[in-house]
Structure 1
Amino acid sequence: MKLKSIAAVIALSQLGFGFSIYSQSANAESQPVEIQAEVEKGPNNGRMLRDGDFAIELAIFETGVPPEFRVYATKSGQPINAQEFEVNVKLTRLGDGVDDINFFVENDYQRGNMEIYEPHSFLVTLTAYYQGKSYQWSYDNFEGRIQIPNALAQSMGIETEVVASQEMEERLKVYGALSLPANATRNVAARFAGEVKSLNATMGDKVKKGQVLMTIEANESLQTYQITSPISGVITQQNVGVGEQSGDRVLLSITDTSKLLADVNVYPMDQAKITLGAKVDIHIASSETPIKTVLTESLYQLTAQQAKVYRAVIDNSQGLFSLGQFVTGQVLVNTYTVEKAVKAEGLQSFRDFTVVYGKFGDQYEVRMLELGRKAGPWVEVLGGIPLGTEYVTTNSYIIKADIEKSGASHDH
């Protein structure tokens, strides 16, 4: 059966998973037989498949074992010895091929020889042989599946990627603030005490190394001389004005703000993870992109909260950042490669599972995942989906909502 649209899925799902069923014997052509909205259940809670007075009950058993099929047969309502009939079941899965299940006798039933792994969503074809006749039934048993035309999916902003190997970066989130490097500030004083005749730079001005800051007339010689800037930077302190005596005090302070330090705090539980030279991305509110740098040093003294302070140099040549500004850091503490990974944004819940939605043409279906380590935007996949499978990342919640509206259930 082909699903035509989201609306079709919703309408059909209201009939349960058994939309239509086909039965054929060795002596008759296959004719579609419409079944009732409610699937007939047998005494073992399995689906009843009937052809005349011959019937098969196909049940999923999962008490204390992984899910598996068990088959019971009756003739005119009377049990048939499990030794007297043969059964084969084929499960045609969306994008994952066909499971070919054979059966062996156990007690009064026949037991399937393989696990029915999740999702339990497939086209079921059962073939039975009894007293020289063959019987066959086919029915849809879909769950967690929806169809969305590609143009509609694109308009909804649904985006996909493929399951692939991924280099994972484990990072530690840290917090701190910007500080000055040692010797970033120089104090300017007069060599010879005298009167300040001119002042060429004042509080907040940017100056360059060698630039004339002021002219002083010496008190003893009455000769004038110039004071120049020892570094490039910003005037951060001014203690003198024109006409004042210089004395032996600090007249101006100049601070080189071209480089700042990101001081980040690492608490005891995480200190063993950190090494000097580790790469770190520093996020500052005034910067749209993170600043990539490395940890260059650590302070010997802990903070009052027992945090160890690590430092990273920040380029501030454009003057975008300020002393004391809060920062967030992401320190790279480990890298490793995993065989399979998916984007965390694509994960959704389905029944008791964490899933992604695999994309197969214009159909989407749940894939139950066994997950491993998480690092950044990626989550390691240990099982549940093959390499190369296309799956939904952005706006996966839309798929979940449509599947929930469709009423798809778990039919055992």
Structure 2
Amino acid sequence: MHRIAGALALTLLLAACGGPSESDSHAEGGHGEHAETQQPAKGEHGGRLLEKDGYTVELGIAEDGAPPRFQAWLYRDGKPLPPSAGSVEVRLKRLGNIAENHALKAQADGSLMAATVVGEPHSFDVDVVANVDGTNLRWTYPSYEGRTAIPAKIAQDAGIRVATAGAGTIADEHEVQGLLTPIEGRIAKVTARFPGPVRRLTVNAGDTVRAGQALASIESNLSLTTYTVASPISGVVLARNAAVGSVASDAAPLFEVADLSSLWVDLHVFGSDAQHIRAGVPVEITRLSDGATAQTTLERVLPGTATASQSTVARATIANADGLWRPGSAVKARITVDQQPAALVVPLAALQTFRDWDVVFVRVGDTYEVRPVELGKRDAQRVEVLSGLKPGDQVVVEQSYLVKADIEKSGASHDH
């Protein structure tokens, strides 16, 4: 529902500001910003017909089972000419003022074809320079796909955010569950020194106490005098097992006091994952109640196996100064076993699918355009980009689905 509402809001904002609409979005090879209102004429090979002074160049992109390349056929007065009758060069200007040239050479099949590949997306301003029978010819036109324009204010209001693509690290991480427990040796069971009736209790379960603070008064059965039972440590009263008038003994604890300023996190690791986890690696602990996180380091991997779960227990310690981490609570954790540097990474939130590609969206000014990317390793937060993007590109990292929706709303095509 949130995504539908977001996409609808962006559509309404664009409509209010006179943004791109379906009626002005179609062009050869795609749709989007500055696109033409009519489809260009096509030749017998399916390419675009460029006509001037009785000469025609039919220009297309050959994509049949091979990397896409520009291909052209020459005509004079509607009749085919051999490829040796002329030359064709296609000069492209991609988003961000990136120039790209493709020189076409004569082929045995009667066409001219470039040796260079036309990378995706096929979205550019086209400048075709030809010489046929000694006559110089030139055509310019836009051919956009996977592109849209969103004014800055509308993008900001829709929550669309960008970040600069650059180097980073990809982590080898293991997601595990765990349990918070008091640290061994920091729990005190407070008992009466001498048996006798409880005359006074001064604290309740949950109270914070300091070392030496009085917890109860007991009347000794031996001396008939009253003595004080004090807390041996500073901490929190976990349990009070006495009532005024009850008889205390030196066998049953009256109170249980624990120092909870730090806690153990016992993490349960299953199967072969246990073979990769070693002490000293970083751990991020997440509190399930509110999503709060704490960073710590794995201290040890216990030698035994938990009987009930048949898991290996890996232990870390977290600070608990605010007391919001509670013993007995379940937590989840991310153990980072290794980190590998990567030349180029983007957040997972930047990824979308477009046709059959994995893509991100790049912003230049107020224009957004699809970038098919080849992906490498990934972790829970980011993914390595092997090709399709360059350092410094401004990549949409929040609400990228809104950009995709705006591009697709007019029916993006890929017709060359």
1:224-373 → structure 2 map (5 Å cutoff): 224-256=226-258, 257-286=260-289, 289-299=292-302, 300-373=304-377
Q: How high is the TM-score relative to the length of structure 1?
A: 0.86
Gaps of 5+ in 1: 20-34
1:67 Cα offset (Å): 0.4
1:115 corresponds, among 117, 131, 139, to 117
Larger CA deviation: 120-129 vs 96-105: 96-105
Amino acid at match of 2:56: A
User: Alpha carbons of 1:186 and 1:150: their partners in 2 closer, same or farther (altered >3 Å)?
Assistant: closer
Q: Would you say the 8 A contact 2:278–2:300 is kept in 1?
A: no
1:111 Cα offset (Å): 1.5
Is residue 154 of structure 2 the alignment partner of residue 152 of structure 1? yes
1:103 Cα offset (Å): 2.0
Amino acid at match of 2:236: V
Partners of 2:92 and 2:338 in 1: CA distance: 43
May I ask how many residue pairs the two structures share in their alignment? Answer: 394
Partner residue of 2:22? 10
Match of 2:402, SS?
A: helix
1:10-409 → structure 2 map (5 Å cutoff): 10-14=22-26, 37-107=38-108, 108-222=110-224, 224-256=226-258, 257-286=260-289, 289-299=292-302, 300-409=304-413
* Larger Rg belongs to: 1
Partners of 2:198 and 2:149 in 1: CA distance: 83
Q: Deviations over 1:88-117 (max 9, x none)?
A: 111111115221111222202222021000
Larger CA deviation: 189-198 vs 371-380: 189-198
1:221 Cα offset (Å): 4.3
1:156 Cα offset (Å): 2.4
User: Alpha carbons of 1:251 and 1:119: their partners in 2 closer, same or farther (altered >3 Å)?
Assistant: closer
Q: Would you say the 8 A contact 1:231–1:254 is kept in 2?
A: no
1:58 Cα offset (Å): 1.3
1:290 Cα offset (Å): 0.8
Q: Would you say the 8 A contact 2:127–2:138 is kept in 1?
A: yes
Amino acid at match of 1:294: T
Partners of 2:72 and 2:249 in 1: CA distance: 105
Match of 1:393, SS?
A: strand
Gaps of 5+ in 2: 1-16
Partners of 2:244 and 2:406 in 1: CA distance: 77
User: Alpha carbons of 1:96 and 1:9: their partners in 2 closer, same or farther (altered >3 Å)?
Assistant: farther
Partners of 2:276 and 2:171 in 1: CA distance: 13
Partners of 1:220 and 1:319 in 2: CA distance: 41
1:329 Cα offset (Å): 0.9
Amino acid at match of 2:350: G
Q: Would you say the 8 A contact 2:19–2:150 is kept in 1?
A: no
Q: How high is the TM-score relative to the length of structure 2?
A: 0.85
Larger CA deviation: 131-140 vs 297-306: 297-306
Partner residue of 1:27? none
Partner residue of 2:10? none
Larger CA deviation: 213-222 vs 100-109: 213-222
Partners of 1:400 and 1:6 in 2: CA distance: 19
Partner residue of 1:30? none
1:223 Cα offset (Å): 5.0
1:151 Cα offset (Å): 2.6
Structure 1 vs Structure 2 CA RMSD: 2.7
Q: Deviations over 1:12-37 (max 9, x none)?
A: 22465699xxxxxxxxxxxxxxx993
Q: Would you say the 8 A contact 2:89–2:103 is kept in 1?
A: yes
Larger CA deviation: 67-76 vs 315-324: 315-324
1:9 Cα offset (Å): 5.5
Partners of 1:137 and 1:249 in 2: CA distance: 99
1:72 Cα offset (Å): 1.3
Larger CA deviation: 315-324 vs 154-163: 315-324
1:168 Cα offset (Å): 3.5
Partners of 2:245 and 2:153 in 1: CA distance: 78
